[in-house]
Amino acid sequence: MLPNEDLPQGEDKAIIVERMFDQIAPRYDLVNRLMTFRMDVGWRRRTVRDLALEPGSTVLDLACGTGDFCNDLLRFDLNPIGIDFSAGMLAAAGTDAPLVRADALQLPVPNAHVDGVTCGFALRNFRDLSGFFHEISRVVRPGGRIGLLDVGQPSNPFLRWGHSVYFGTIVPKIGALLSDPSAYRYLPKSVDYLPPSEEMLAELRNVGFVDAVRVPLSGGITQLFLGTQTTQNLATNC
């Protein structure tokens, strides 16, 4: 299903990623828990805490998948709305949060209409990351917050080596045993889609999250981007 050579781009990427997530949806949560040794739970809860939004705030969880982030947002008395492109993931979702099938690059939300946005481990799956940053800037109200999680690269060389072995070799085997081999071979390769962290930070600041920071988690194997909307970027309104 997935190409073994160059990673797909543009619309091809969108189609392939959607089909992949439709296929792996049934065991997605199980594989995540196993391959992160449940650290993913702590990463998401740290993100929600660091949003520091008032109870009752509305937060879009983009690429919500099976609803893990929505459930963490609910635990903190926030009002999540889960949005995903994949019908399969939404069908497998286990959350009481309202769900919408939509494109994170063309959100069905007016300008400056939500208090926050979260996104867990999906930045590398969007066909246009710059477009995504502009779109979240459009929908978050001035003073609203974003918390974006994705894979990182440890700064410690030994940890980086160990993580590379684990992520490149062991994770695909876990995924192959429990789910879909090609999807979990794609996972380590998909990290190549992510620009350097400094570039992502600069872009987030340029689109209006001027205080954007990057927080390495668990020795840097995961990174969290946090920011506050300080301007209203209407440049990408339709």
Partner 1 sequence: MALDPGLLEILACPDDKGPLRYLPDEDILYNPRLGRSYPIRDGIPVLLISESTDLDEDEKKRVDEITADGSQSSSPEG
Q: Under rule CB under 8 A, which residues in 67-86 are in contact with partner 1?
A: 79, 81, 85
DSSP 218: G
Q: Distance between CA 182 and CA 79 in Å, rounded?
A: 35
In contact, 162 and 45? CB cutoff 8 Å: no
Q: Closer CB to partner 1, residue 235 or residue 238?
A: 238
Question: Considering CB under 8 A, how many residues would be counted as binding partner 1?
Answer: 23
Binding-site member from 101, 189, 205, 214 for partner 1 (CB under 8 A)? 101
Asked if residue 214 binds partner 1 (CB under 8 A), the reply is no
Q: Distance between CA 146 and CA 215 in Å, rounded?
A: 13
Asked if residue 114 binds partner 1 (CB under 8 A), the reply is yes
**Of 35, 20, 23, 4, nearest in space to 171 by CA:** 35
Residue 101 CB, nearest approach to partner 1 (Å): 5
Residues contacting residue 219 through CB under 8 Å, at least 6 positions apart: 154, 156, 159
213, two tokens: 């920071």
Amino acid letter, residue 56: G
Binding-site member from 3, 42, 94, 110 for partner 1 (CB under 8 A)? 110
Q: Closer CB to partner 1, residue 109 or residue 187?
A: 109
Q: Closer CB to partner 1, residue 114 or residue 212?
A: 114
- The residues of the shown chain that bind partner 1, judged by CB under 8 A, are 58, 79, 81, 85, 87, 90-91, 98-103, 106-111, 113-114, 237-238
